[in-house]
Amino acid sequence: AQSVTQLGSHVSVSEGALVLLRCNYSSSVPPYLFWYVQYPNQGLQLLLKYTSAATLVKGINGFEAEFKKSETSFHLTKPSAHMSDAAEYFCAVSGNNDMRFGAGTRLTVKP
């Protein structure tokens, strides 16, 4: 069985500050890992995806995530937050014909 834990349901940063959203996963098979962003009243948009090709994955809008097998983590970072980054972020793991999402982290960006 697979699972995802996102640490921190709410994260608040100042504009221009580092964004760090935490995700830990559990999987019995080599996982595929995803980060999605959801804006109000919209569906999910893929930010980035890990497929074992490289441990550091670069995504859209300046986001990146690093896969650390020893820590079973896949944290999302962005060097400098922008007001438009305010949204809800979901980490997800797929494998074994199943897909599991974390509970989500709501990111607030203060001016």
Residue 51 binds another protein (CB under 8 A): yes
Structural tokens at position 49: 């995806």
Residue 101 binds another protein (CB under 8 A): yes
**85 - beta bridge partners?**
none
Which of 90, 105, 107, 109 contacts another protein by CB under 8 A?
A: 90
Distance CA 95, CA 98 (A): 6
**23 - beta bridge partners?**
6
Which of 8, 12, 14, 46 contacts another protein by CB under 8 A?
A: 46
Residue 64 binds another protein (CB under 8 A): no
Backbone φ and ψ for 62, nearest 5 degrees, come out as 80, 5
Which range touches another protein (CB under 8 A), out of 13-21, 42-50, 54-62, 68-76? 42-50
Of 28 and 41, nearer to another protein (C-beta) is 41
Which range touches another protein (CB under 8 A), out of 18-26, 39-47, 54-62, 73-81? 39-47
Helix%, strand%, coil% for the chain, nearest 5: 5, 60, 35
- 64 contacts: CB under 8 Å, gap ≥ 6: 48, 56, 57, 58, 76, 77, 78
Residue 7 binds another protein (CB under 8 A): no
For another protein, the binding residues (CB under 8 A) are 32, 36, 41-46, 49, 51, 90, 92, 94-95, 97-104
